[in-house]
A and B are shown apart, each in its own frame.
Chain A
């Protein structure tokens, strides 16, 4: 079965509607509140059931088969695994330092911090593995034979290397971790291939370093203008213009950082998804910086205008964004797309379900 190329219908389509989703979202919120939050694992499951079922790939929709109880068990495991290093970091080291063993506290800090990084990497890997193992298409699921133990180590040393050279290696570290993660995943009998490069991202990443320079130039320009106007205007209005410049400058600075981050992430996702393959299929992601900007501004408007209630629709919006911009081309042989032999993990994705994004 070939994927219709450059048709007006792309391989991935989303058919959901927020009217259909609203009853799910509101009952989820209600039940989560009255159960002191315990229901949220089932809420996540119901949300995914809906979103997956309204997502069509070529001729058939996706199916989510995860269960609330799996997420709950995963969460408690994560609490224990994360909780021990965090409590030791927070209280143990503080107590040691207070009692004068500052050096010992310093020595212990690094292994504990490392343990935390390791568990975070492991959790990220396992979240992806769990999601793929619970996603069915044509009765076939995904997964990974890999437990992610090695990935945990990679996430430590690659994150550390990323910080070298004033953070210039961060794109490399992100891309390389993405490749490592996805290359370990499979769907049916096929392994994902992930060959993203960090080179194409460097241009946008360097904007982060350019920003302070641009800021200084703008500041000098602003001061110069203020001084120039101050010569003709009264002293009071000159200082008022100065304050206005500073306020506007700070706002512009924040906005600029936000836009650069978006531009970088947009490029990252295009590069990362664009170099992902599975069997005979190649994936692509079409969202540009402006699309991301629209998504985020839409999020803000939605949440602010509904006094916060709109938060329950964010998952829906983000999933819709993901699917509408996800494209695929190539060919699938349904007869050789056989059932995955990867083990079915028993627990869900733990703490990462709280962040929700970032699990891919």
Chain B
């Protein structure tokens, strides 16, 4: 004699509630008046407060019981989902541990991968990307063939073979310099005007060339894209992770660019001490006299000058032999005047 229980039924066709009798037989449940329903077709739609089953193939069909199920029914019928199918299977603790492990791997991959992928991007693609993002700097670049030739020559000496460089002076009176995608380096006129010697400009330029040489800009773009893709629109926790990782990442990038700059300056017999002094002056806000402008837009904003970085430049200076200025006094005058005509044009 099979078990049978009082139950109620919504057939999913009308809203009328029917009072029925349900009988459990091996492999299926029989509701009077209906064909036997395979237990495999049932899903638990109940919770702590009530016992309800639905059907996988009929969305509105519900079979409910007003009393708790006997143990043999409970064992035979499907169990409710709690956290979602996968997590129910491995348990909450397992899911949390697994989640942390996978997330850590993903974040680690997002941090490491861009620096590995960036060198694989063909220079022509990066160049086009750079053009698309910055264009011709809105006509802010100072065009002066003689000054440009001097800068190009300096950049060539400071770079390694194969670095695709395009150095330009931009007519913005803020002490800053940036490496942009596609090997573009923008020296702001402010940094040239506030430098006390060409060696200081050479130091900053060499540092930026270091970013180009290490493909930091492309890696930064890829990293941003990757984080945007994986964590895009997600929780605040993800944003913090992004922030922390970028800070860590850029500190490493700065160290690499500094090391490159010191190495190239040394090879060209250019003193590294002026660069260290320049950092110190920037840090003391002795630049434009406008502290707010400086801290927001200057090279300092993206390049916090630590004692450690200054020490590295100072220490390297002792080992440089047969020092000579980065460019001659006459050439330096031409470079400093590069944006004069640009100014005059505008007036």
Contacts and interface: CB of A to CB of B under 8 A. Distances in A.
Interface of A: 27, 30-40, 42, 45-46, 49-50, 53, 60, 63, 65, 68, 75, 79, 91, 95, 97-100, 136-141, 188, 332, 334-339, 344, 351, 354
Nearest to B100: A34
B145 interface: no
Contacts of B95: 31, 34
Contacts of A45: 84
Given A27-B83, A98-B134, A99-B135, A40 B235 contact: yes
A138 B106 contact: no
Interface stretch (B54-62, B293-301, B309-317): B54-62
A36 B16 contact: no
7 contacts: A31-B83, A31-B87, A36-B103, A36-B107, A139-B62, A141-B60, A335-B14
B136 interface: yes
A35 B99 contact: yes
A339 B84 contact: no
B225 to A, nearest CB: 11
B52 to A, nearest CB: 8
A42 B60 contact: no
Contact of B133 (A46, A95, A334): A95
Given A138-B15, A339-B60, A354 B238 contact: no
A34 B139 CA distance: 48
Interface residues of B, number: 45
B230 interface: yes
Contact of A53 (B47, B100, B238): B47
Nearest to A33: B237
A136 B96 CA distance: 32
A37 B10 contact: no
Contacts of A97: 138
Given A31-B87, A33-B237, A139 B15 contact: yes
Contacts of B133: 91, 95
Given A98-B134, A100-B136, A139 B84 contact: no
Nearest to B16: A334
A75 B45 CA distance: 25
B292 interface: no
Nearest to A102: B138
B233 interface: yes
Q: Which 4 A-B pairs have the closest CB atoms?
A: A139-B10, A37-B234, A34-B99, A99-B135
Given A34-B95, A140-B14, 9 more contacts: A37-B237, A42-B83, A97-B138, A98-B135, A99-B136, A100-B136, A188-B15, A334-B15, A334-B17
A22 to B, nearest CB: 14
Contacts of B60: 136, 139-141, 339
A168 B232 CA distance: 37
A156 to B, nearest CB: 24
B126 to A, nearest CB: 15
B244 interface: no
B14 A53 contact: no
Contact of B45 (A35, A63, A91, A188): A63
Q: How would you classify the secondary structure of chain A's contact residues: helix, strand, loop or mixed? A: mixed
B12 interface: yes
Contacts of A139: 10-12, 15, 60-62
Contacts of A68: 84
B62 A95 contact: no
B132 interface: yes
Contacts of A30: 96
Given A40-B235, A79-B233, A91-B133, A46 B138 contact: no
Contact of B233 (A91, A334, A354): A354
B284 interface: no
Given A31-B96, A40-B235, A139-B60, A339 B135 contact: no
A138 B102 CA distance: 42
B347 interface: no
B132 A95 contact: yes
Nearest to A38: B234
Contacts of B96: 30-31, 34
Contacts of B92: 27, 31
A31 B84 CA distance: 11
A298 to B, nearest CB: 22
Nearest to A78: B233
A8 B122 CA distance: 74
Interface in B48-102: 49, 54, 59-62, 83-84, 87, 92, 95-96, 99-100, 102
Nearest to B60: A139
Nearest to A49: B47
A32 B100 contact: no
A6 B17 CA distance: 25
B137 interface: yes
B231 interface: yes
A338 B82 CA distance: 30
B120 interface: no
Contact of B13 (A39, A42, A75, A338): A338
A100 B59 contact: no
Interface in B201-229: none
Most B CB atoms within 10 A — which of A40, A42, A335? Answer: A42
Nearest to A54: B49
B101 to A, nearest CB: 9
Contacts of B137: 98
B15 A137 contact: yes
Contacts of A53: 47, 49
Interface string B231-256: 11111011001000000000000000
Contacts of B87: 31
A79 B92 CA distance: 29
A46 B83 CA distance: 7
A87 to B, nearest CB: 10
A37 B12 contact: no
A153 to B, nearest CB: 26
Interface string B279-314: 000000000000000000000000000000000000
A141 B106 CA distance: 40
Interface string B106-133: 1100000000000000000000000011
Contacts of A42: 83-84
A100 B16 contact: no
Contacts of A34: 95-96, 99-100, 103
